[in-house]
Structure 1
Amino acid sequence: MPTPKPVPGSILAPMSFPKLGGGEISVGGPRENWTLFIVYRGKHCGRCKKYLNILNGMRDQWAAAGFDLAVVSADPQEKAQSDQAEFGWEFDIGYDLSEAQMETLGVYASDPLSSGETDRRFAEPGTFVMRPDGSILMIAISNGPSARPDLVELLDGMIFTKDNGKPPRGNV
């Protein structure tokens, strides 16, 4: 039986992930700012690297619009560290996203096609926007690496949504 997906407007159950450099990344529940939360496939995914490179270049724009960034994958610490070192990402990166957390988020999960891809089940892409009260404004999940929200369009839309007090859509 498929796992129910999160409902727009609902409060995301608080969850946390170990963060590169120490500490934790937490999402869900009340916050000071809005949150852009991105689940990426991991080190084996070239499309993820392109997407996160774009995010890294836009991080000041997202911050100026009042958004905190949270990025996580199911990769172990070593793989996440390797990518951060190679690409110079300056946002916080979480790792060890569990299968139970994938299920809570409603993201699709895949088994590796080979040991060359990765050594564990991993999450397919997911993008979530949450209001400061912890409610989910926008959910975009994909069952593969090629479909993700355009980050420039998403930021523009989220600024419009914030400025005009628009509610979550797709909740009926």
Structure 2
Amino acid sequence: MKSKLSAGSQMPDICFSLINGNSIRLSEETSNWTLLIVYRGLHCPICKGYAAKFENKLSKLQDINTQLIFISADPEQKATMFAEELNLKSKIGYGLTIDQMRKLGLYLSEPRPSEIDYIFPEPGLFLINPKGRIHIIEISNAPFVRPDIDLILRGIDHIQENNYPIRGTH
């Protein structure tokens, strides 16, 4: 990890494809909040469990005007397999490049021979407000550290209901 994103800063201008044929530009203003979950890839069983738990909260995310997007460095075929295996209805991005991972400030890992044959990101979670600014950042260097999903959802609701400011800006 070479660079660190700052809370409150504009999301980096990163565009990536979705398995549904559309694409997303993270820095664009939207009418929704965006919860971006960076996962390690299809090879990661912990990522699968975490994604499934988030997917079970999709209606709550919709209630709080927040779109859920999963993204990894996996190619389209593996990202599609990830979505199908877990029956995900969320937006699934694929093909994060090393440059994009670095712009997000993610930790990058060399794969073990039994995993894949390309560098992949370690987990990250970004809450992006409708103006394209980073409201929450959570980045890990290993698959074993993940924010509590219910706490994240309560936090998003609290932020929106109380116009809660972006923290960690100094």
TM-score by length of structure 2 reads 0.96
Paired residue secondary structure (1:162): helix
Q: Which one of the candidate residues 137, 151, 163 is aligned to 2:149?
A: 151
Shift in Å at residue 46 of structure 1? 0.3
1:81 corresponds to which residue? 80
1:162 corresponds to which residue? 160
Q: Deviations over 1:30-89 (max 9, x none)?
A: 111111011100001000000000111111110110101121000011111112121111
Counterpart AA for 2:41? G
**Aligned runs of 1:112-151 on 2, under 5 Å?**
112-114=111-113, 116-151=114-149
1:95 corresponds to which residue? 94
Counterpart AA for 1:129? L
1:64 corresponds to which residue? 63
**In structure 1, distance between residues paired with 2:37 and 2:77:** 19
**In structure 1, distance between residues paired with 2:98 and 2:21:** 22
**Aligned runs of 1:6-21 on 2, under 5 Å?**
6-21=5-20
1:34 aligned onto 2:33 = yes
Shift in Å at residue 162 of structure 1? 1.2
Paired residue secondary structure (1:112): coil
**Fraction of identical pairs, as percent:** 37
**In structure 1, distance between residues paired with 2:25 and 2:147:** 22
**In structure 1, distance between residues paired with 2:77 and 2:105:** 26
> For structure 2, which runs of at least 5 residues remain unmatched after alignment?
none
Counterpart AA for 2:120? F
Contact 1:19 1:95 in 2 (8 A): yes
User: Following TM superposition, where does structure 1 have runs of at least 4 consecutive aligned residues deviating by more than 2 angstroms?
Assistant: none
Shift in Å at residue 21 of structure 1? 2.3
> For structure 1, which runs of at least 5 residues remain unmatched after alignment?
none
Shift in Å at residue 19 of structure 1? 0.8
Shift in Å at residue 26 of structure 1? 2.7
Q: Deviations over 1:130-156 (max 9, x none)?
A: 111111110000000010111111000
Paired residue secondary structure (2:24): strand
Paired residue secondary structure (2:135): strand
**In structure 1, distance between residues paired with 2:65 and 2:167:** 21
Paired residue secondary structure (1:62): helix
Shift in Å at residue 25 of structure 1? 2.6
**In structure 2, distance between residues paired with 1:25 and 1:90:** 16
2:103 corresponds to which residue? 104
